[in-house]
Each structure stands twice: as structure tokens, then as C-alpha cells.
């Protein structure tokens, strides 16, 4: 066995605080299982989308107590470097995934031992409440133990800065540098005077704000079916529904209690095919017209609507258009801003222009969307991956407040004898059909990242001249920056005025993703259904070409 690998494993075992993990690694050493040890030690989990995310396992490539301990030491050193007083404290929260409780405990112990005030959430709660809590408590940072919508084997560590937003460069690199050099920390415990449990009145203030904003006067007869997909959104979301006047809410009992095994779902992600099947079945039983789903940490929103006796799951872009159609009406201040990313639909830009509201396009991820307004106020931001921010109270995406907003719109439309689908028709008749879709290549294992990089480099070196028969009018290497955006890994193909394609590695999963949009301009002489059929066929042709180009 490689002597250098043995040295690394022995060093890790010496410092790992978890007896079970030490035993696992010792057994792998004794068995001479070099392949498995390489899987765990060939790379380190690194700060990607505002934190760490990976499989729960021993070793630097996994989420474990030692990884969390080192990351938290990195946070302490980072806060000191940027001049945040330890007395401001760190808000600490967790979801209900496997390992979340012990990782949460590790964070609390390291912070207290370093003399940092801790504001700990009283129980497993949604990620948006940690982002909200940082601002509400004027804390110096927020740490959330969650892997969001990742598979059951994963967990993660999400970091918010003093502004309640996900951290960005260079802060992520600073935290990681300190984490790599971390030694043995002093550990504190919850008997410390520095430890505080976040009071229920803080959580109540969140509820009161959004209930007040989206309350339906006199209550609503809208029938809704809700599922938290085995996550932590159920308790808060049902209270929000009741407070806002949505009293005909059925829940999916089999998915309501938090359960890190996610027994009814291979991937607890509302975007995944089949993820809403149980909810739609329950909705049919209860004569609901609307299905609402949160992902396991409730920062994303999935929506399905009744359509000709069946169910139609809305794309993230479509939910974004619907929310924008309601929220743009109230934006009258010149400081108001709406934003979405370069992989989302271009529809929001056209809607904002029509409403005389400033629009900003950002790089992929809410860490960029949340900062899009600059000195202005972000009134609405969304990403096609079911992330929505409908109110500046929370500095990150929030699937719960977005759920109230979409239900409020559905209620108002129902009073006019209309549905969310009718509103989508109105939007596309006015601004044109914007057909969208995705392709993804999952690449697991230690060679996965290499395969993904290889595909992107091949596209850079030899970009196609046509996609789906449409000429590529412009090729953009996003690694060189574009339209004032910072460099990022990915490429963009502009298809004239008819659409565009962006290909980039995922920031949260071992995937290469392609985002496609095909547009048809409004034309009252042509039925909307015909426009949609033509756009869908063109989108299919583009997808077919991409499927061949993305093969590793």
C-alpha cells in the first residue's frame, strides 16, 4: 500500500474525534483496502456553494465530525480576520438528515470553546430560518447543517456571512485555508454563558411577517395538498398556511414527519421525476387544485397544478414567471430590483422591462442573486432550480414564503374564475413562448470530476456551429467572464434571437448540466398551442444534439 496514503490515514485517525470513524479507517488499513481509502483520501471536501456537501463517511472526502470540527475552526479564524466580534455570535441550525445532530453538536462545541457566542436553533428547522436569524439577531454568521435536496447518504455545512447571505469569494477560500491548517480545538459545552437557544419569539416574528404579507382576508377555499418530502418544513409551513387563511390544506402523511432516510424517495428533490407522485395522488383524493412541496430543508419550492383532470408539474422558470407577475405590480421604488441567473429563462428580464423595474442577471446560485441589487433592494429573485426569494427579510432563497406567495396568487386568480395555468397563458401571449429544459450527466466516483472537466474543455476547444439545426451566433467561454459577470466554469451558446444554451458543472452534485431555452415571439395570429408545439420540437432537436456532445 502507498506509504504516503498510510501516513495520511494514520494522521487522520489520530485526530478524528469519532470512535466509529476511527474504527472504520483502522479496519480499512488492516484489510489493505487501498481503493476504498483512496476514495476517502484522494481529495478533500472543499467549499463550493457556500459550504461543504458530500457523503457521510470517515475521511477528508466525507462529511464527518472531524471535517465539521475543522470547518468550524476555519469559520472562527475567518470571523476574526474580517473583524467580526465574537460577541455578535453565530446562529447554528440543522435539518433532520443522518448525522445532522452530531455535526450540529460539534459546531456548537467548537464555537463555545473559542469564546464565540452561539445562538442555537431550538430543534431541527428549515435553512431559511438560519439566514433570517442572522439578520434578526444581528449575528456575525450562520451555520446550517444540511445537504438540502441531495441523496440520503449526503450531508453538508452551509455558511452565511454577517449579512445573512451565503458567503462568496474570497471568504470561502479564507475559511478553507484556516480549516486545512486547523489543530486540536478547545471544546465548550452548553452550560457556557455564551450559549443561547433562539427564542420562539424570533421564529414567531418570521411567521407574523409573512402571514401579514400574504394573508387572505376572510380565509380561502383554495384546496391545497402539501408535502415537506420527509424534511423539516412541515411544522412551520402548516402554521403559515393556517395563519394566512389557507384552511383547506391536506398533507401527505407518509412524507410529513422528518426522516433522514427519505423512505419514499430515491432523491428528495421536487425537481426529480416522480418526487411529487404521492402528493398528486393525495391531491386527487382530496380534490385539491394545487400541490405545494418543499425540499428537505425547505429552501426550495415545487408546485403542481390540476390540468384537464391530471396534474402538471411546473418548471422553476414557470413558477418564477408566476411570482413575478404578482410581485412586479407592487414595485414602484427606483431602488427595487428583480434578478435571476444566466441559466434561467430570459422571460423575467422582459417582464421587468415592461414594468419599468430594474433587472439584473447573475451567475448561477443564490449567493449571487442575493447580492444582485447592490445598493438597491432585491424585491424578487429566483433560479430555475426551484429557488425563490419573495421578500428582503430573508437574505437567501426561501421555499416557505414563496409557497405562501404562490398560494396567494392562486387564490386571487380563483376569485376571477382563473387558474395559475391561465396566468401562464397570459404571460406567454404577451411576452412570447419561452420553452426550457435541462440535460445532466452524473459522474460519480473519484474520476467523475475529471470526466466533467473533460467535456467542458472539449466544448471550449471545439464548440459546435449549430445546435438542433440553429446556428450558434455567439460562443462565450464563461471562464473569461461575460457581460460584467465574474469568471465561472462553463460555456454559453447563443442561438440568435431564438434561444441559448449554457453548459456548466453543478455546484452541489457530481453533475454536468446543460440549460436550454427556445423562444417564439408573440403573434396573435398564431394559436399559443401551435407556438408551444413548434418551440418544444425545436427544444427536442437541441437536446438531441447536446446529448451527443456531452458524452464523456
Chain segment 64-83, per-residue pLDDT in tens: 999 999 999 999 999 999 99
Q: 194 and 47 in one domain?
A: yes
Residue 348 DSSP symbol = H
Backbone angles phi and psi of 203, in degrees to 5 = -70, -35
Which of 198, 230, 249 terminates a domain? The answer is 198
Tens digit of pLDDT at every position of the chain (552 positions): 899 999 999 999 999 999 999 999 999 999 999 999 999 999 899 887 679 999 999 999 999 999 999 999 999 999 999 999 999 999 999 999 999 999 999 999 999 999 999 999 999 999 999 999 999 999 999 999 999 999 999 999 999 999 999 999 999 999 999 999 999 999 999 999 999 999 999 999 999 999 999 999 999 999 999 999 999 999 999 999 999 999 999 999 999 999 999 999 988 999 999 999 999 999 999 999 999 999 999 999 999 999 988 999 999 999 999 999 999 998 999 999 999 999 999 999 999 999 999 999 999 999 999 999 999 999 999 999 999 999 999 999 999 999 999 999 999 999 999 999 999 999 999 999 999 999 988 776 666 778 888 889 999 999 999 999 999 999 999 999 998 999 999 999 999 999 999 999 876 667 889 999 999 988 888 899 999 999 999 999 999 999 999 887
Tally of domains in the chain = 4
Domain for residue 22, yes or no? no
Q: What pTM value is reported for the model?
A: 0.94
**Secondary structure E strands in 121-215:** 141-145, 154-160, 195-197
Q: 326 and 254 in one domain?
A: no
Which of 156, 174, 198 terminates a domain? The answer is 198
Parallel, antiparallel, or unpaired for β 433-442 and 387-389?
A: unpaired
463 CB-contact burial (10 Å; exposed 0-12 / middle 13-18 / buried 19+): middle
Q: 478 and 391 in one domain?
A: no
Looking at every residue in the chain, the average pLDDT score rounds to 95
Q: 85 and 207 in one domain?
A: no
Question: In the annotation, is 148 catalytic?
Answer: yes
Q: What angle do CA 496, 501, 507 make, to 5 degrees?
A: 150
pLDDT tens, position by position, 373-385: 999 999 999 999 9
Q: 388 and 287 in one domain?
A: no
pLDDT tens, position by position, 410-454: 999 999 999 999 999 999 999 999 999 999 887 766 667 788 888
Domain for residue 114, yes or no? yes
What pLDDT was estimated at residue 443? 75
Domain for residue 26, yes or no? no
* Residue 467 three-state SS: strand
What pLDDT was estimated at residue 237? 98
Q: 183 and 75 in one domain?
A: yes
* Residue 477 three-state SS: strand
Q: Which residues pair with 53 in a beta bridge?
A: 156
What pLDDT was estimated at residue 508? 63
Q: 326 and 364 in one domain?
A: yes
Domain for residue 58, yes or no? yes
Q: 507 and 402 in one domain?
A: no
545 CB-contact burial (10 Å; exposed 0-12 / middle 13-18 / buried 19+): middle
CATH number at residue 440: 3.30.310
**Would you list the DSSP string of 270-318?**
TTSTTTTHHHHHHHHHTT-SEEEEE-TTS-BEEEEEEETTEEEEPPHHH
Domain for residue 131, yes or no? yes
Domain for residue 3, yes or no? no
Q: 338 and 212 in one domain?
A: no
CATH number at residue 113: 3.40.120.10
Q: 540 and 445 in one domain?
A: yes
Which of 395, 429, 463 terminates a domain? The answer is 429
- 102 Cα distance to chain centroid: 23
Is the Cβ–Cβ distance between 170 and 405 less than 8 Å?
Answer: no
| Given 46, 87, 100, 148, the catalytic residue | 148
Q: How many residues does the chain have?
A: 552
Phi-psi domain of 128 (left: phi exceeds 0; alpha: psi -120 through 50; beta: other): alpha
Q: 544 and 488 in one domain?
A: yes
Domain for residue 33, yes or no? no
User: What angle do helix axes 420-431 and 399-415 make, rounded to 10 degrees?
Assistant: 90
Closest of 270, 341, 317 to residue 433, by C-alpha:
317
Q: 248 and 102 in one domain?
A: no
Domain boundaries, position 266: 203-308
Domain for residue 23, yes or no? no
Amino acid at each position: 500500500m502507498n506509504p504516503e496514503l498510510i501516513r495520511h490515514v494514520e494522521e487522520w485517525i489520530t485526530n478524528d474525534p469519532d470512535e466509529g470513524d476511527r474504527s472504520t479507517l483502522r479496519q480499512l488499513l488492516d484489510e489493505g483496502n487501498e481503493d476504498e481509502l483512496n476514495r476517502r483520501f484522494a481529495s478533500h471536501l472543499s467549499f463550493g456553494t457556500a459550504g461543504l456537501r458530500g457523503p457521510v463517511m470517515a475521511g477528508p472526502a466525507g462529511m464527518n465530525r472531524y471535517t465539521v470540527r475543522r470547518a468550524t475552526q476555519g469559520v472562527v479564524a475567518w470571523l476574526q480576520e474580517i473583524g467580526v466580534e465574537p460577541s455578535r455570535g453565530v446562529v447554528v441550525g440543522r435539518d433532520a438528515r443522518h448525522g445532522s445532530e452530531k455535526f450540529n453538536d460539534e459546531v456548537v462545541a467548537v464555537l463555545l470553546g473559542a469564546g464565540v457566542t452561539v445562538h442555537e436553533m431550538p430543534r431541527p428547522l428549515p435553512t431559511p430560518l438560519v439566514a433570517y436569524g442572522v439578520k434578526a439577531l444581528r449575528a456575525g454568521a450562520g451555520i446550517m447543517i444540511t445537504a438540502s435536496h441531495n441523496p440520503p447518504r449526503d450531508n453538508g455545512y452551509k455558511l452565511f456571512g454577517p449579512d445573512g447571505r451565503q458567503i462568496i469569494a474570497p471568504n470561502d477560500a479564507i475559511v478553507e485555508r484556516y480549516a486545512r491548517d486547523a489543530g486540536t480545538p478547545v471544546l465548550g459545552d452548553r452550560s457556557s454563558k455564551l450559549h443561547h437557544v433562539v427564542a420562539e419569539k424570533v421564529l414567531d416574528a418570521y411567521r407574523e411577517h409573512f402571514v401579514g404579507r400574504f394573508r387572505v382576508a376572510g380565509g380561502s377555499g383554495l384546496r391545497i395538498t402539501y408535502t415537506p418530502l420527509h424534511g423539516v418544513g412541515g411544522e412551520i409551513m402548516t402554521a403559515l398556511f393556517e395563519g394566512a387563511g389557507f384552511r383547506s390544506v391536506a398533507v401527505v402523511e407518509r412524507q410529513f414527519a422528518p426522516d433522514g432516510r427519505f423512505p419514499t424517495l430515491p432523491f428528495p428533490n421536487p425537481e426529480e421525476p416522480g418526487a411529487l407522485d404521492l402528493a398528486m395522488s393525495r391531491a386527487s383524493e382530496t380534490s385539491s387544485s394545487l400541490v405545494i412541496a418543499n425540499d428537505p430543508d425547505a429552501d426550495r419550492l415545487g408546485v403542481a397544478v390540476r390540468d384537464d383532470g391530471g396534474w402538471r408539474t411546473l418548471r422553476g422558470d414557470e413558477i418564477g414567471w408566476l411570482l413575478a407577475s404578482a410581485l412586479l405590480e407592487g414595485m414602484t421604488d427606483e431602488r427595487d430590483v428583480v434578478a435571476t441567473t444566466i441559466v434561467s429563462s430570459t422571460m423575467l428580464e422582459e417582464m421587468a422591462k415592461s414594468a419599468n423595474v430594474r433587472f439584473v442577471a447573475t451567475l448561477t446560485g443564490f449567493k449571487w442573486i442575493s447580492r444582485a441589487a447592490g445598493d438597491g433592494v432585491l424585491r424578487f429573485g429566483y433560479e430555475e432550480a426551484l429557488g425563490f426569494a419573495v421578500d428582503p427579510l430573508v437574505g437567501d432563497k426561501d421555499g416557505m414564503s414563496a409557497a405562501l406567495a404562490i398560494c396567494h396568487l392562486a387564490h386571487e386568480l380563483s376569485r376571477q374564475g382563473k387558474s395559475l395555468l391561465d396566468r401562464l397563458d397570459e404571460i406567454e401571449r404577451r411576452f412570447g413562448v419561452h420553452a426550457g429544459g435541462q440535460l445532466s450527466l452524473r459522474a460519480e466516483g473519484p474520476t467523475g470530476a475529471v470526466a466533467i472537466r473533460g467535456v467542458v474543455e472539449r466544448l471550449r476547444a471545439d464548440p459546435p456551429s449549430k445546435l438542433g439545426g440553429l446556428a450558434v451566433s455567439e460562443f462565450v467561454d464563461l471562464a473569461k467572464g461575460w457581460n460584467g459577470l465574474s469568471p465561472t466554469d462553463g460555456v454559453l451558446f447563443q442561438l440568435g434571437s431564438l434561444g441559448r444554451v449554457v453548459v456548466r458543472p453543478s455546484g452541489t452534485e457530481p453533475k454536468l448540466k446543460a440549460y436550454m431555452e427556445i423562444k417564439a415571439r408573440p403573434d396573435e395570429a398564431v394559436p399559443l398551442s401551435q407556438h408551444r408545439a413548434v418551440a418544444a420540437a425545436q427544444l427536442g432537436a437541441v437536446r438531441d444534439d447536446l446529448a451527443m456532445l456531452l458524452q464523456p
